[in-house]
């Protein structure tokens, strides 16, 4: 998406590309699939307008040359070059559109009501057709890669600023090259591996947008050679100023629209809060971290910023004051976890904390009172290990405090102690045949809810227990065992009908998230097993 001066439409396409990249990193859900479909539809609309604009540039070149009754050889060359650019672009766009239609057809076409697609996911179909079956790397994306990069070489003769390649492998992509997994992928794998069909359509639309963007740049270069620039004054633009950036549903939105302009012959000086603002192409960019100390009941805080623009006309400075209202919305912290209502004491509770209002600039850091916080590998992931009955998690982004969330801490539920003889649970009412009382196992079974939430914390083992063979309230034999299982053949050989076996659990351990064995207080559970 690199380039020189970009039009607002091109900048919007750039933002859509970043949005597409972010979506591709998320787990696929029906909501994400709809966003891919929306993004693809938006890109298609933009592309249609860009095609019309680019065709208009060629028409302007023809008109400019027609005004000259004796066009020069250079004029004719420029027109022929513009027509060649348009022809090459049209062929490539048609090819990409063909790939889109192929994927749509292969996945069953549109759905019955025509609002979407019959099979919006279709990951396997995308992979087979775009990458190739059985990892043969013979899918359509490899042909697309060659066409895109050949097109870039073709355009360079008209616009040297055109990138060398439009189809990048993972090692060449500025974003993917930072990821050890993604950098090993080629262009086809990077864009179409494990990719839903609607996401693949959005990728193709984005590539089409790039093609049209660089075509527009090349045509503008050619148009300048015959004085037929489609935009005579590129620094004239429309703007709008709203009474409020935040509008409640059911209320009126009011704004003023106006034309703004800047001139190459005038270099304005701009400042914001007494500091100089850098001016590029007549535009000054005001940027600051929004903050507020108090919010209203709706979580909003109305703020105002002021700036100054000074221009010099005929040796005289004229200063204009810019006043802009904005609303600081209190960021909403979203915590995603299976056990979000309460955390477990001295356990590794994994949370995913996001602040959607911050979007791509979200750069979180965490601290905790009443426990410790360990930042995870992915943005927003954090592990909380509570050491008190309540934990408060403090969330910051880029060094700026966002807010805090407080959680109650629940104790770890005690495991259930279960005795098995010969692989079957002991029935303390009916008892066990005396001669079959041999293979005994004592299990510590984790609470099912706790196990589902924190499986790495719910690993129990009985490490010590005792057994007594009792006859008429007098011990006949006894044993102490390390580990959950024991062979009590000696008991079976001595046992008589009417005896009983008393089992007493002495020690239970739990492996925590670090793999460390910690003591578990289960009291003094015992089993009184009658022999019959």
Do 223 and 54 touch, CB atoms closer than 8 A? no
- Provide the token pair at 84: 């060649």
Pick from 186-195, 226-235, 305-314: least confident:
226-235
Report, as an integer, the average pLDDT of 72-89.
90
Go through 161-176 and write b for each residue having 16 or more CB atoms within 10 A of its CB, e for each that does not: ebeebbbbbbeebeeb
Which pLDDT belongs to residue 9? 56
State the Cα–Cα distance between residues 300 and 138, nearest whole angstrom: 54
Residue 229 has pLDDT above 50, yes or no: no
State the Cα–Cα distance between residues 488 and 10, nearest whole angstrom: 80
Residue 3 has pLDDT above 60, yes or no: no
Chain mean position to CA 523 = 46
Residue with the larger pLDDT of the pair 341 and 270: 270
Tens of pLDDT, residue by residue over 65-78, are 887 766 788 888 99
Tens of pLDDT, residue by residue over 334-385, are 787 655 568 999 999 999 998 887 777 788 999 999 999 999 999 999 999 9
Confidence band for 300, pLDDT divided at 50, 70 and 90: confident
**Going from the N-terminus, what domains does the chain have, and what CATH number goes with each?**
8-225 (no CATH), 236-327 (no CATH), 334-410 (2.60.40.10), 416-530 (2.60.40)
Do 275 and 281 touch, CB atoms closer than 8 A? no
Report, as an integer, the average pLDDT of 136-161.
93
Residue 135 has pLDDT above 80, yes or no: no
Pick from 87-91, 227-231, 394-398, 446-450: least confident:
227-231
Confidence band for 14, pLDDT divided at 50, 70 and 90: low
Residue 20 has pLDDT above 60, yes or no: no
Report, as an integer, the average pLDDT of 235-254.
63
Average pLDDT over the chain, rounded to whole?
Answer: 84
State the Cα–Cα distance between residues 390 and 361, nearest whole angstrom: 30
- Provide the token pair at 400: 């700026």
Kindly write down the DSSP assignment for every residue of 382-400, as one continuous string.
EEEEE-SSEEEEEEEETTE
Tens of pLDDT, residue by residue over 246-255, are 554 545 667 7
- Provide the token pair at 450: 């706790």
Which pLDDT belongs to residue 298? 62
How are beta strands 269-272 and 300-313 bridged, if at all?
antiparallel
Pick from 70-74, 160-164, 218-222, 452-456: least confident:
70-74
Residue 315 has pLDDT above 50, yes or no: no
Q: What angle, rounded to 10 degrees, do the helices at 8-24 and 30-67 form?
A: 150
Which pLDDT belongs to residue 26? 46
User: Comparing C-alpha atoms, which of 401, 399, 434, 437 is closest to residue 420?
Assistant: 437
Tens of pLDDT, residue by residue over 447-469, are 998 999 899 999 999 999 999 99
Query: How deeply is 31 buried, as exposed, middle or buried, from its count of CB atoms within 10 A (0-12, 13-18, 19+)?
Result: exposed
State the Cα–Cα distance between residues 48 and 52, nearest whole angstrom: 7
Kindly write down the DSSP assignment for every residue of 453-465, as one continuous string.
H-GGG-EEEEEEE
Do 188 and 141 touch, CB atoms closer than 8 A? yes
Positive/negative CA dihedral, 184, 186, 191, 195: negative
């Amino acid at each position: 998406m690199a380039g020189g001066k970009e039009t607002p439409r091109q900048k919007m396409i750039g933002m859509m590309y970043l949005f597409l990249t972010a979506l591709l990193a998320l787990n696929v859900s029906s909501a994400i699939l709809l966003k891919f479909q929306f993004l693809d539809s938006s890109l298609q609309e933009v592309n249609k307008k860009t095609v019309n604009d680019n065709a208009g540039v060629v028409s302007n070149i023809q008109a400019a040359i027609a005004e000259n009754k004796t066009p020069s050889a250079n004029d004719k060359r420029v027109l022929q070059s513009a027509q060649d650019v348009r022809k090459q672009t049209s062929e490539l766009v048609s090819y990409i559109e063909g790939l889109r239609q192929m994927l749509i057809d292969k996945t069953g076409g549109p759905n019955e009501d025509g609002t979407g697609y019959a099979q919006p996911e279709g990951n396997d179909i995308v992979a087979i057709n775009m990458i190739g079956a059985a990892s043969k790397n013979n899918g359509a994306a490899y042909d697309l890669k060659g066409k895109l990069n050949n097109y870039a070489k073709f355009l360079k003769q008209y616009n040297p600023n055109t990138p060398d390649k439009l189809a990048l492998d993972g090692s060449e992509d500025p974003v993917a090259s930072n990821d050890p997994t993604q950098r090993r992928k080629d262009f086809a794998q990077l864009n179409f591996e494990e990719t839903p069909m609607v996401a693949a359509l959005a990728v193709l639309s984005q590539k089409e947008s790039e093609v049209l963007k660089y075509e527009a740049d090349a045509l503008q270069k050619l148009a300048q050679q015959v004085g037929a620039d489609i935009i005579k004054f590129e620094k004239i633009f429309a703007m709008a100023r709203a009474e409020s950036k935040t509008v409640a549903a059911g209320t009126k939105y009011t704004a003023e629209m106006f034309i703004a302009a800047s001139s190459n012959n005038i270099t304005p000086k701009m400042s914001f809060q007494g500091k100089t603002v850098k001016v590029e192409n007549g535009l000054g960019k005001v940027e600051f971290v929004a903050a507020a100390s108090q919010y209203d009941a709706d979580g909003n805080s109305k703020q105002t910023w002021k700036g100054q623009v000074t221009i010099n006309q005929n040796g005289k400075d004229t200063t204009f004051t810019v006043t802009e209202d904005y609303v600081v919305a209190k960021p909403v912290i979203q915590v995603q976890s299976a056990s979000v209502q309460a955390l477990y004491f001295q356990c590794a509770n994994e949370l995913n904390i996001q602040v959607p209002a911050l979007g791509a600039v979200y750069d979180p850091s965490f601290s905790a009172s009443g426990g410790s916080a360990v930042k995870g590998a992915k943005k927003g992931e954090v592990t909380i290990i509570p050491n008190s009955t309540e934990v408060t998690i403090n969330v910051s982004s880029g060094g700026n405090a966002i807010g805090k969330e407080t959680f109650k801490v629940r104790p770890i539920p005690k495991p259930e102690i279960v005795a098995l003889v010969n692989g079957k649970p002991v029935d303390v009412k009916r008892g066990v045949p005396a001669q079959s009382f041999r293979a005994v196992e004592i299990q510590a079974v984790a609470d099912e809810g706790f196990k589902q939430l924190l499986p790495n914390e719910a690993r129990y083992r009985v490490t010590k227990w005792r057994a007594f063979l009792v006859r008429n309230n007098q011990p006949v034999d006894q044993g102490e065992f390390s580990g959950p299982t024991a062979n009590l053949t000696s008991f079976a050989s001595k046992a008589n009908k009417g005896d009983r076996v008393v089992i007493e659990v002495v020690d239970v351990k739990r492996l925590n998230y670090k793999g460390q064995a910690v003591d578990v207080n289960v009291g003094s559970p015992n089993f009184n097993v009658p022999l019959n």
